[in-house]
Amino acid sequence: MPHTQQVVAVRDTHLFVDDTGEEGLPIILCLHSLFLDSRMFDGLIDAVRGEFRVVRPEFRGQGRSDLHDVDVITMDDDAEDILALIEVMGLKDINMLVQSMGGDVGVRVAARRPELFRKIVMAGSSARGETHKEYVTWTDRASVHGFVGDILEETLGVMFGETIRNDPERTDIVALWTDRINALPRSLRPAMLGVMTREGALDLLPSITCPVLIFSGVEDHARPPEWGKEVADALPDSELVVLEGVGHSPTLEVPNIVYPKIIDFFRS
């Protein structure tokens, strides 16, 4: 089966899915961050080519998936979409890689159907409800003005740590995602509000029985390492790796560090 980019009907929506498509290979299901999309995992594709099949959906109301004219798209909405997608695509024995919002969705998915999952990696994620009340104002401003000026800078400041944003050798990755975030539509509001007003899911963690590897950046102000630690403490089988000089997006900020660890974890 060749590498495909397709739109898949699930529930009342259509999700864009990038699928490397190899039959017979173990699966990595990637769930992306808010403000980013499936392309945030581009670096994984070459690293695991011929060894893993990589399936990368984009959440409803984001990326190339259907928009929805609703007030809020909740984490439970997204979790039900992903469970439906797993069913439609016939995915089993899944390794799952999630970052930020992807983790909010991923823990709900894995807690509801733990038998589907082999191993999970969480990066820049947590299971708390949002505690930064100012993020709702940020959402409202972005829905009116778009991701420009101070709003763009605020978004970049959340998504990337100070170290990478000040590193002249890594200006390319910051510039790439600056352009992509700048191009986000104001219609992102329902998805954005879903993250900014999400309920906690710490009570679901004991139901996730597979091994979980957690990466948390010291410079992650949105979801600091203590949030990662409380996830690790609540899971039956987990390991927490705290990364110095890293912010909210470990797979983009230090792929040379995290991807080898992720691949070894999924291989073992």
pLDDT in tens, 118-153: 999 999 999 999 988 899 999 999 999 999 999 999
Instruction: Indicate the average pLDDT of the chain.
Output: 96
What's the predicted TM-score (pTM) here?
A: 0.97
Q: Read off the DSSP letter of residue 66.
A: P
What is the C-alpha separation between 211 and 148, in angstroms, rounded?
40
| Separation between Cα atoms, residue 50 and residue 21, nearest integer Å | 11
- Distance, CA of 5 to CA of 43 (rounded, Å): 17
Largest CA distance in the chain: 47
pLDDT at 37 > cutoff 70: yes
- What local confidence, expressed as pLDDT, does residue 17 receive? 98
Given CA atoms 164, 165, 167, 171 in this order, what sign does their dihedral have?
positive
Digit-coded pLDDT (tens) for 50-105: 999 999 999 999 999 999 889 999 999 999 999 999 999 999 999 999 999 999 99
Cα separation, 21 vs 26, whole angstroms? 11
Of 217, 249, 254, which is closest to residue 34 (Cα–Cα)? Answer: 249
Which domains does the chain show, CATH number per domain? 4-267 (3.40.50.1820)
* Under 8 Å between Cβ of 75 and 108: yes
Fill in the amino acid letter for 175. A
Percent of the chain having pLDDT more than 70? 100
Q: In this structure, how many other beta carbons lie within 10 angstroms of the beta carbon of residue 64?
A: 14
Among candidates 237, 239, 190, which has minimal Cα distance to 75? 190
- Each residue of 230-259: pLDDT tens digit? 999 999 999 999 999 999 999 999 999 999
Residue holding tokens 């439609």? Answer: 88
Cβ atoms of 128 and 211 closer than 8 Å: no
Residue 187 pLDDT > 90, yes or no? yes
128 neighbors 64 (Cβ within 8 angstroms) = no
Tell me, what's the pLDDT at 133?
A: 86
Band the pLDDT of 1: cuts 50, 70, 90: low
